[in-house]
Structure 1
Amino acid sequence: MRVLVYGSGQLAQMMYLAAAPLGVIVSAVDVSNETVVHPVSKEPTGVSLQNAIEDANAITVEFEHVPEHLLLDADKSGKLFPNVASILAGADRVREKALLSKHEIPNCPYLIITDVTDLDNVIASLGERVIFKASRDGYDGYGQWRMQSADQLEKLKSEFAKLDLVKVPLIAERMMQFDREISLVGARDSEGNVSCFSLAENLHFEGQLHVSVAPITDLSDSLQSQANEIFEKLATAMDYVGVLAVELFQCGEELLVNEIAPRVHNSGHWTQQGCDTSQFEQHIRAVLGLPLGAVDVRGVSAMVNIIGCTAFSRDLIGIAGAHLHWYGKEVRTKRKMGHINVVADSHSHLGNKLAQLLAFLPVEHFPELEAEANRLKNYTK
Structure 2
Amino acid sequence: MRVLIYGAGQLAQMMYLAGCPLGIEVQAVDVKDDSVVHPVSKLPLELNLTQAIEAADALSVEFEHVPERLLEQAAASDKLLPSMSNILIGADRVREKKLLESLNVPNCAHRLVTDLTQLDECVESLGERLIIKASRDGYDGYGQWRLTDRSKLDALKQSLQGLDLDAVPLIVEQMVDFDRELSMVGVRDKQGNISTYPLAENLHYKGQLHVSVAPAPEVDTELQKRAAHIFETLASGMDYVGVLAVEMFQCGDTLLVNELAPRVHNSGHWTQSGSVTDQFENHLRAVCGLPLGDVAAIGVSAMVNIIGCGSFSRELLSIKGSHLHWYGKTVREKRKMGHINVGAADYAELGDKLAALSQYLPLEFFPKLEKEARRLRNA
Calculate the TM-score normalised by the size of structure 1: 0.99
Partners of 2:375 and 2:342 in 1: CA distance: 16
Name the structure 1 match of 2:351. 351
Name the structure 2 match of 1:24. 24
Name the structure 1 match of 2:6. 6
Partners of 1:120 and 1:309 in 2: CA distance: 41
Shift of 1:378: 1.0
Find the residue that maps to 1:264 and give its secondary structure.
Answer: coil
Query: Would you say 1:278 and 2:286 are equivalent positions?
Result: no
Find the residue that maps to 1:213 and give its secondary structure.
Answer: strand
After superposition, the C-alpha distances for 1:334-368 in whole angstroms (9 at most, x for unaligned) are 00000000000001100000000001000100000
Percent identity, please.
Answer: 63
Shift of 1:46: 2.0
Paired residues for 1:295-374 under 5 Å: 295-374=295-374
Shift of 1:328: 0.2
Name the structure 2 match of 1:106. 106
Which shows bigger deviation, 122-131 or 271-280? 122-131
Partners of 2:225 and 2:378 in 1: CA distance: 27
Find the residue that maps to 2:59 and give its secondary structure.
Answer: strand
Paired residues for 1:58-137 under 5 Å: 58-137=58-137
Query: Would you say 1:165 and 2:165 are equivalent positions?
Result: yes
Name the structure 2 match of 1:265. 265
Name the structure 2 match of 1:183. 183
Q: Which runs of 4+ in 1 moved over 3 A?
A: none
Name the structure 2 match of 1:246. 246
Shift of 1:320: 0.2
Shift of 1:181: 0.2
CA RMSD of aligned residues (A): 0.5
How many aligned residue pairs are there? 379
Shift of 1:161: 2.3
* Partner AA of 1:131 in structure 2: I
Gaps of 5+ in 2: none
* Partner AA of 2:89 in structure 1: A
Partners of 1:159 and 1:316 in 2: CA distance: 44
* Partner AA of 2:361 in structure 1: L
Shift of 1:120: 1.6
Partners of 1:150 and 1:135 in 2: CA distance: 23
* Partner AA of 1:209 in structure 2: L
After superposition, the C-alpha distances for 1:117-156 in whole angstroms (9 at most, x for unaligned) are 1112011111010000000000000000011110111011
Partners of 1:189 and 1:37 in 2: CA distance: 27
Gaps of 5+ in 1: none
Name the structure 2 match of 1:218. 218
After superposition, the C-alpha distances for 1:166-193 in whole angstroms (9 at most, x for unaligned) are 1000100000010000000000001000
Name the structure 2 match of 1:151. 151
Find the residue that maps to 1:121 and give its secondary structure.
Answer: helix
Partners of 2:223 and 2:32 in 1: CA distance: 41
After superposition, the C-alpha distances for 1:79-105 in whole angstroms (9 at most, x for unaligned) are 000001100000000000000001110
Shift of 1:116: 1.0
After superposition, the C-alpha distances for 1:301-359 in whole angstroms (9 at most, x for unaligned) are 00000000111001101100000000000000000000000000001100000000001
Name the structure 2 match of 1:139. 139
* Partner AA of 1:219 in structure 2: V
Which shows bigger deviation, 271-280 or 116-125? 116-125
Name the structure 1 match of 2:195. 195
Partners of 1:161 and 1:301 in 2: CA distance: 44
Shift of 1:20: 0.4
Calculate the TM-score normalised by the size of structure 2: 1.00
Find the residue that maps to 2:17 and give its secondary structure.
Answer: helix
Query: Would you say 1:52 and 2:57 are equivalent positions?
Result: no
